[in-house]
Structure 1
């Protein structure tokens, strides 16, 4: 459904009215189109003294051929040179230079006094980040810090990133990446995603990278040779996920209930995939999924996207509506995971990706059943992650207001509020959810396990 307010905001008279009334002014976000470079525009790299991740960050910037700059930091220049990255000089007094992304290595910050390094680096260049730009702070996981003072300082980075995401406007996204000790080699897939237009509607998020084996991939087709199964694939977000997985090289098995057979056939035909018409709540759903995927060399990625809403206030809700939502949104994924994990139904280095919701984080009026189910999905990820072996991972995305048939049916006033109540001042697109799922699906994302990433434009709900 078209966002008429955003269309109006781009017109000369709309821009004039919105500016003078102080109303939200959404910009058109950059989104990924293949084949294009990871990032269009210059990258400014900075680091706190003694930071330990700069060499790996520089190597990644070199790998993506980023046009990279740094200020008067001789230590950083030397580190980058050893990684094969030439950093062009940037004079902090130069107010004309513009940057598409700013990356700051904060891993060297040892105590609260040294948090001044954030101010020192970002204050002079805060107005020099381009529309749809990126601010990325990379730090050490607080739990792995060497002292209480360092853990406190590293945890403080979250407040900085979330505030920047709300301050900078212009579609600029701000993220924090925590890296475990000795896990810097697992950083590349995350940094590529956050620098690129793939992360258009992700902001104010914290992603944790843990130590794992390093898997080389063809970055243009990171899912080449993989078999991916997407539940609820007949339309909306599920359809977008199927398309993105296929774009990245996977054979996609599109699953939905038999009543959606026609749409399933259409989606599968568009992407050269397969169809599995199946009710995921059936007792033998896991068994049937294993049997079908075995014909494709086994299952590499399963995306638990299927879900429903049956909204009523708790006082007006019938028990069957409560049970239906919990069973489809949560229990079915639990059962399928249990079967696959206990019966060799997922290949080595396999990926389980779940779709939660900001309702599961913040709650929502008239959605107790839905919020319970989506909060349960977060629990499913958190408590399954430590149990996985053979390089398997489980992560989740939590969409906010995404422009789908479901949100198009919301009453006008509530729909408009949902669109504007985030740092981007607009709703997201199904592809935004799909791109984030593709990050977790990649064979290179071995270091991502147990993450919950909101795809909500930094919604004010549950912030």
Structure 2
């Protein structure tokens, strides 16, 4: 659905009027274009330790222009702040102020990425304080950025080099247009698993992926993005959506499977279809979901039970079947769709929020049960422009669009890009996590 307000305030003559009146002026986001550059402009790399130099060498190897000290009128496309060796909050002053001096020159659609360590891994109070401080400053900075710029962080586990494969994969994702609606978030690299994607344009080449709820909306966008990145796609949806499902599958050269995912044998049937048609199954995307909104005081068993059955119980049962039947080997990926409703709650969505919070809990607990080299993660969308959000009353929809750092709703492709990254080989050291794609907001949708 088009954001008419965004289009108006970015076009003359209303752009100048909106600026004079102090109205929100959401920027057109820098999104991924196949064959386009990773970044517009040079990378300012801030940091003095060995990790900073190692990352500088990697960025140079990616063909980026790396500068180590900002000068007036330079226009960096990104600022990468390497704080992997910080052990006391007082040590943050110099690098943070170096970033501050460059922010006004950051290009529209620019990126700020911190690289640091998880506070949970620290044993010394001062070290834990410094590491947690990085998270606070990054999230606050992300609220301050304008012009479609975003700020995100990478937390690299103690004992791992900052150039471990999944840290580099996360860095490339966060610098690129693929992360346009990811803001104020952290990705944690928990181990050294993962291998570099051999083809940056087609990182899923040779993979077989199944997407549930693929007939329309976010599910169809995920299917298209996985196909664009090289995967062979199995599109799954209920029989009632059969015509739309077939159209999606045919457009992608994939296969369609009409299936109610609440069926007791749904996982086994998906796996059998994948093995029969493609010989394997590498990626499972649990996207199918429903809403049955009511205030809890007016909730009935039918609404509650239907949402729980589709949104979480089906995923639990299918995952058990995939794992029991050795459906996903080393390098396998499961990505579930959660929601910011499951993190912050949302009025009238107790059933939906419970189911999506359940997805987050399931992902965290299942990570330890995955085969060696396989991962499970979740993506939690915020306000995304879909047929569902188009039915929200106008005033409520406009407020929800503006209440995030990017002052606009995301697109289904923004969710799909996050799913595709987590499905890639380069994300092998990231598991059990939930990545919000919400423009830095907790409004449920």
TM-score category (smaller protein): over 0.9
The SS at the match of 1:270 is helix
Name the CA distance, whole Å, in 1 between partners of 2:207 and 2:61.
24
1:175 aligns with 2:152: yes
Whether the aligned pair in 1 keeps the contact of 2:340 and 2:442 (CA below 8 Å) is no
Whether the aligned pair in 1 keeps the contact of 2:287 and 2:337 (CA below 8 Å) is yes
Q: Which residue of 2 aligns with 1:197?
A: 177
Deviates more, 1:396-405 or 1:141-150: 141-150
Rate the CA distance shift 1:443–1:119 in 2: closer, same or farther, 3 A. closer
Name the CA distance, whole Å, in 2 between partners of 1:195 and 1:56.
17
**TM-score under structure 1 normalisation?**
0.92
Name the CA distance, whole Å, in 1 between partners of 2:381 and 2:58.
28
Q: Which residue of 1 aligns with 2:314?
A: 332
Whether the aligned pair in 2 keeps the contact of 1:348 and 1:392 (CA below 8 Å) is yes
Whether the aligned pair in 1 keeps the contact of 2:235 and 2:256 (CA below 8 Å) is yes
Name the CA distance, whole Å, in 2 between partners of 1:256 and 1:243.
15
Name the CA distance, whole Å, in 1 between partners of 2:393 and 2:179.
28
Q: Which residue of 1 aligns with 2:360?
A: 378
Name the CA distance, whole Å, in 1 between partners of 2:235 and 2:53.
41
The SS at the match of 2:193 is coil
Name the CA distance, whole Å, in 1 between partners of 2:288 and 2:58.
35
Rate the CA distance shift 1:120–1:383 in 2: closer, same or farther, 3 A. same
Whether the aligned pair in 2 keeps the contact of 1:212 and 1:391 (CA below 8 Å) is no
Root mean square deviation, CA, Å: 1.4
Deviations 1:374-416 (CA, angstroms, capped at 9, x unpaired): 0001001111112223211011111011000001111001100
Name the CA distance, whole Å, in 1 between partners of 2:193 and 2:350.
40
Whether the aligned pair in 2 keeps the contact of 1:229 and 1:252 (CA below 8 Å) is yes
Q: Which residue of 2 aligns with 1:313?
A: 295
Name the CA distance, whole Å, in 2 between partners of 1:303 and 1:105.
33
Q: How many residues align?
A: 439
Question: Which structure 2 residues correspond to residues 111-130 of structure 1 after superposition, within 5 A?
Answer: 111-130=88-107
Q: CA deviation at 1:444?
A: 1.8
Q: CA deviation at 1:20?
A: 2.3
Name the CA distance, whole Å, in 2 between partners of 1:67 and 1:169.
23
The SS at the match of 1:253 is strand
Whether the aligned pair in 1 keeps the contact of 2:211 and 2:223 (CA below 8 Å) is yes
Name the CA distance, whole Å, in 1 between partners of 2:87 and 2:146.
30
Name the CA distance, whole Å, in 2 between partners of 1:56 and 1:356.
35
Whether the aligned pair in 1 keeps the contact of 2:169 and 2:196 (CA below 8 Å) is no
Whether the aligned pair in 2 keeps the contact of 1:403 and 1:430 (CA below 8 Å) is yes
Q: Which residue of 2 aligns with 1:76?
A: none
Name the CA distance, whole Å, in 1 between partners of 2:9 and 2:442.
21
Name the CA distance, whole Å, in 2 between partners of 1:253 and 1:59.
39
Give 2:392's match in structure 1, choosing from 410, 426, 430. Answer: 410
Whether the aligned pair in 2 keeps the contact of 1:182 and 1:211 (CA below 8 Å) is no
Deviations 1:41-62 (CA, angstroms, capped at 9, x unpaired): 2111110x4x342244224313
Whether the aligned pair in 1 keeps the contact of 2:338 and 2:359 (CA below 8 Å) is yes
Q: Which residue of 1 aligns with 2:189?
A: 209
Rate the CA distance shift 1:236–1:56 in 2: closer, same or farther, 3 A. farther
Deviations 1:326-381 (CA, angstroms, capped at 9, x unpaired): 11011100000011111211122100101000100000010000000000010011
Deviates more, 1:11-20 or 1:434-443: 11-20
Q: CA deviation at 1:7?
A: 1.5
**TM-score under structure 2 normalisation?**
0.96
Whether the aligned pair in 2 keeps the contact of 1:181 and 1:211 (CA below 8 Å) is no
Q: Which residue of 2 aligns with 1:82?
A: none
Whether the aligned pair in 2 keeps the contact of 1:52 and 1:107 (CA below 8 Å) is no
Q: CA deviation at 1:460?
A: 5.1
The SS at the match of 2:257 is strand
Q: Which residue of 2 aligns with 1:155?
A: 132
Deviates more, 1:170-179 or 1:137-146: 137-146
Name the CA distance, whole Å, in 1 between partners of 2:35 and 2:62.
13
Name the CA distance, whole Å, in 2 between partners of 1:15 and 1:214.
45
Question: Which structure 2 residues correspond to residues 50-129 of structure 1 after superposition, within 5 A?
Answer: 51-71=49-69, 92=70, 94-129=71-106
